[in-house]
Structure 1
């Protein structure tokens, strides 16, 4: 890290993005230029010396809850959703390694041919070696979302914050800004307020897990070029969920 590299607010973070973030303007699947753009955002933070791990949703390919709502057995639907997250993780790994960033896909479901199994101490060592770790297949259990997997892995990895990269919104609002012109963005909001007011940050289990371990959640726009790096350098627009 050179002397002119900005000092960072956090040394180790978990970046959570939705599967939908990878599909660009398409209604489904992966959009390679979008995957590459997000990889470049991660590259700028990696170059600051920050240790990064990631969790990516699978909603661009398959969402277990929706499959269940259409009559599919819930456990089967959730496992299919977990496999979708592995596909997204492999796509992001390819984009990051094309930029020269060493990356490991670590799956909660054993599939040795394409990903490492999740072993906490090994994953921590990867981070210490400045490799980006992408945690795939959620927690490996049905009925748990990738939000909960993010909070779980961030705590296990001793991350200092979870960064929630959102599409089309630059923080947490008191109401949907797409529907209400008078929606107001919070600069900071408590875990309890997020739960009580049902604010769209993460699911309740994930918020409770973050709260119980004093893990801050930074909600920011993934659409803003340089936004991820800017926040780590002490700039930018975002909402911080804590205390």
Structure 2
């Protein structure tokens, strides 16, 4: 599941065509690329991959319960980086139009046992909330930067309970992003000639030879 998430996250961001609206993109894309892995308050020598958060099962230490009942409430009322209701309705309008044009082409893949675990059947169409969450990540630079930070520890001594509590402010978005990449994205094959780049401002520091990205990653095809 995590391998799908890693590769599909690259594809979803690379194919997106972000709007140039100043209202939505107050920071440059290059700045966006440089803020995916670490916080300035964290150990300066470490590269952070994020922490795994459980959105589908309750009762675990890393289980995240959304603070808000709906995606709309979460986007407009969260304390991390909220958007105006007018922006939400514009996102909804654009994604509704996209669903009308491509709904029959965006259906869930068969990911084995994970279809049952995530409650997403093979062949089921993508939902409006999945599309809104994806478009939020490509169009609202400052918002997505803050949301991605909730998937990482703020400092070396932060507990998983503290991280999960912060993440509850945007748990709906995080869940929909992961589901969208895992079940509705396209796998980037090893034979593909497509090259994707992301930015690093700190040294790589791996705690294991096998790593998984537990937060969305911004990429570009330009170097």
Q: TM-score, normalised by structure 2?
A: 0.27
- Higher relative contact order, structure no. (Cα contacts within 8 Å, ≥ 6 residues apart): 2
Select the structure that is richer in strand: 1
TM-score (norm 1): 0.26
Higher helix share: 2
